[in-house]
Structure formats: structure tokens, C-alpha cells
Amino acid sequence: MPYYLGKFVAQRRDSNHKEIVDYARIHGYEVIETHSVGNGAPDAIMFETSPPWRVWLLEIKTLKGKLTPAEILFHKTWRAKPINIVRTTEDLEKLWQK
């Protein structure tokens, strides 16, 4: 487990992570997996490869998964794009329709 600023940080992938990332890629979106960053950072960055070039930060959680204290802090202090909690492929579809 990586060591950062005097603390060990989790870098786990949720059990549905691969399914959600694969679904986005199959539908033509690029995905950069960032779950290994740890310290509450989002699990993935998803973006369109053609106009309008939208970008989403994704926190992938299982249906009953909860944010860790580090994730809560990151979400509260992050000032750029909103972080979207995604639990199912249907959640991705909803993001794409916005």
C-alpha cells in the first residue's frame, strides 16, 4: 500500500469498476483510470473524443458503497469540475444525456 504524507492510502477498485469503464469505452468515450492516485481522488476521468469535448470526473462506487473520509474531503475541497458518483452503467447514460 502506498505511503503518502505520513499516511497509508487506499487504492482499491470497486467490484463494478471494470464494467463501468468498459461500458464507457465501448460507447466511444476515452477513460483515464486514476483510482491508483489515492487520497480521495476520483477513480476515473472520462471524456468525449469529439465535440462538444465534455469531461467528467468519476467516483465509481458499488450500489451500497460509501465515500471514504478522504473522498469526502477531496469532493468538498475540489474546485474544478464536479465529481460524479457512478454506481451503474445507467448512471453513465444519465451523465451523457445532460
- Residue-wise pLDDT tens digits, 51-77: 999 999 999 999 999 999 999 999 999
| CA distance linking residue 89 with residue 83, whole number of Å | 16
| 45 three-class SS | strand
CATH assignment at residue 27 = 3.40.1350.10
pTM, rounded to two decimals: 0.84
Phi, psi (degrees; rounded to nearest 5) at 3: -115, 130
Would you say residue 26 has pLDDT above 80?
A: yes
Structure-block grid coordinates of residue 31:
477513460
pLDDT band at 8, cuts 50/70/90?
Answer: very low
| Residues spanned by the domain of 58 | 3-97
